[in-house]
């Protein structure tokens, strides 16, 4: 580490609260799937801001939109309509199963809006006692109070208490554990289609289908937290579209002709939606979205013209012919390559995930592994207690995917247990 790098890191924490352990490098700029530090070292960015830089760094379409829109109008009061807000909302509705959109600035704000929307709907639909939420063990939904209350980490962070009451935790992919918690007081169930901090663990489609049926039976709002999984990350524009199931899936060979996409009532979006620009949204089917009325919720920055213009550009790029097919192709290369390394090295113990959201468990301490990968030119992140999280930009080329696999294989071969 150079003297200048250490100086910047040390001086930063004279002014910044230490919410994260500092990395040993200072980042400078990025281009495509690569990031560069201030010493000029090049990294394949398989962190991408934790699944944020969906179109990579300095994407030409995003840069063009930012420059043109910033010169026209960056912000205005949320009560005013703008062409940019209309365009982004229209794209979100027309590409999804939802009817109404509320724009936010981040994932945790989107989750907060979803919880408020579900509780208000339940209050009016089922009565004031119906305010309980079912979430899942190993969940992560954000760091503001509502979001933190439905995140299991609350149990090891008592110093932030009291959290929202009426929150219960079921076991992921275990329907009986959910049924045991359902009552007349249950307003909503919130779930990540693929758990992020839960080790990149996908929900079983049959479990989501049964969860949907359970919510329909008891008139419960089903919320999908797609903050990390949405906007192409799983190979579909919206994460719920990557999950389809039929009754036969629980009884032998599934019949693809009978498959139906499992639709939530509300979705929470952010991260890849802006490819690095802060923007998020909550989307809801009509009967739920109409619970949010004038004065019941709002935002200063959410839905500003610049954020909406960027979000629309990102969506339009992802809707181009071949974009999602490319995500699937690169995903297949990474999963196959990792499984090959697993067989040849015996140093990988499990591989999970979906699309370009991969979790890898190894025999090594995760902190040491991340440091070693970084030294060899690959940036990644940790998920849960010991999982290597790989969330590269969706524009990652097949060649860059193979380059990353070579770095991972080299790094594992150099490390001692």
Stronger pLDDT, 395 or 259, i.e. the higher one: 395
Residue carrying the six token digits 């281009």 = 31
Q: Which residues contact 83 (CB under 8 A, 6 or more apart)?
A: none
Instruction: For 27-62, write each residue's pLDDT tens digit.
Output: 999 999 999 999 999 999 999 999 999 999 999 999
Beta strands of 167-250 (E only): which ranges?
167-170, 186-191, 194-195, 201-202, 221-225, 244-245
CA 141 to chain centre: 9
pLDDT of residue 4: 87
Query: Is residue 399 reached through a cis peptide bond, with omega within 30 degrees of 0 on the bond before it?
Result: no
**pLDDT of amino acid 197:** 92
d(Cα 48, Cα 53) in Å, to the nearest integer? 5
Q: For residue 251, is pLDDT > 70?
A: no
Distance CA 95, CA 110 (A): 19
Taking only the tens place, the pLDDT of each residue in 355-376 is 999 999 999 999 999 999 999 9
Indicate if the pLDDT at residue 301 is higher than 60: yes
Q: Is the pLDDT of residue 26 over 60?
A: yes
Q: Is the pLDDT of residue 250 over 70?
A: no
Q: What is the pLDDT of residue 255?
A: 67
What tens digit of pLDDT does each residue of 113-171 get?
A: 999 999 999 999 999 999 999 999 999 999 999 999 999 999 999 999 999 999 999 99
Q: How far apart are CA 381 and CA 321, in angstroms?
A: 30
Residue 263 has pLDDT above 60, yes or no: yes
- pLDDT of residue 253 exceeding 60, the answer is no
CB within 8 Å of 56: residues ≥ 6 apart: 30, 31, 32, 33, 45, 48, 275, 393, 394, 395, 396
| Mean pLDDT confidence for 301-326 | 98
Count CB-CB contacts under 10 A for residue 94: 9
Helix (H) or strand (E) holding 14: helix 3-15
**How many angstroms separate the CA atoms of 285 and 224, rounded?**
12
Could you give the domains of the chain? 3-58+322-414 (3.90.1150.10), 73-318 (3.40.640.10)
Six-digit token pair at 397? 């080329």
What is the number of other CB atoms lying within 10 angstroms of the CB of residue 113? 26
Q: Is the pTM of this model over 0.75?
A: yes
Give yes or no for residue 195 having a pLDDT over 60. Answer: yes
Q: How many CA atoms lie within 13 A of 81 on its CB side?
A: 5
Predicted pLDDT at 20: 85
């Amino acid at each position: 580490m150079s003297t200048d790098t250490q100086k910047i890191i040390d001086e930063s924490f004279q002014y910044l609260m230490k919410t994260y352990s500092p990395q040993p490098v200072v980042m400078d700029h990025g281009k495509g799937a690569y990031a560069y530090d201030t010493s000029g070292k090049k990294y394949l960015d398989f962190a991408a801001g934790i699944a944020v830089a969906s179109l990579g760094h300095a994407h030409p379409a995003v840069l063009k939109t930012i420059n043109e829109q910033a010169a026209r109008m960056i912000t205005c009061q949320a009560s005013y309509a703008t062409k940019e807000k209309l365009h982004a909302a229209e794209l979100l509705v027309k590409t999804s199963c939802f009817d109404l959109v509320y724009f936010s600035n981040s994932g945790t704000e989107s989750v907060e809006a979803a919880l408020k929307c579900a509780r208000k709907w339940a209050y009016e639909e089922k009565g004031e006692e119906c305010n309980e939420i079912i979430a899942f063990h190993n969940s992560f939904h954000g760091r503001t109070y509502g979001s933190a209350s439905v995140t299991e980490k609350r149990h090891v962070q008592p110093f932030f208490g009291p959290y929202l009451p009426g929150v219960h935790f079921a076991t992921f992919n275990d329907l009986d554990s959910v049924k045991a918690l359902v009552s007349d007081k249950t307003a909503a169930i919130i779930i990540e289609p693929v758990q992020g901090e839960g080790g990149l663990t996908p929900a079983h489609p049959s479990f989501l289908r049964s969860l949907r049926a359970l919510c329909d039976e008891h008139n419960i709002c089903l919320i999908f937290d797609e903050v990390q999984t949405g906007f192409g990350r799983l190979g579909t524009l919206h994460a719920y579209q990557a999950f389809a199931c039929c009754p036969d899936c629980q009884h032998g060979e599934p019949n693809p002709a009978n498959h139906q996409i499992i639709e939530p009532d509300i979705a929470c979006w952010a991260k890849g939606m802006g490819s690095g620009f802060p923007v998020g949204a909550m989307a809801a089917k009509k009967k739920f979205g109409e619970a949010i009325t004038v004065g019941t919720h709002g935002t200063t920055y959410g839905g500003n013209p610049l954020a909406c213009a960027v979000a629309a550009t990102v969506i339009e790029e992802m809707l181009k012919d071949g974009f999602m097919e490319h995500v699937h192709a690169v995903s297949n290369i990474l999963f196959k390559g990792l499984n090959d390394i697993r067989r040849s090295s015996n140093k990988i113990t499990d591989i999970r995930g979906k699309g370009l959201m991969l979790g890898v468990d190894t025999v090594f301490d995760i902190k040491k592994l991340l440091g070693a990968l970084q030294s060899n030119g690959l940036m990644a992140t940790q998920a849960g207690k010991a999982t290597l999280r790989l969330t590269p930009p969706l524009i990652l080329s097949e060649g860059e995917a193979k380059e990353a696999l070579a770095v991972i294989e080299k790094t594992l071969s150099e490390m001692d247990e």
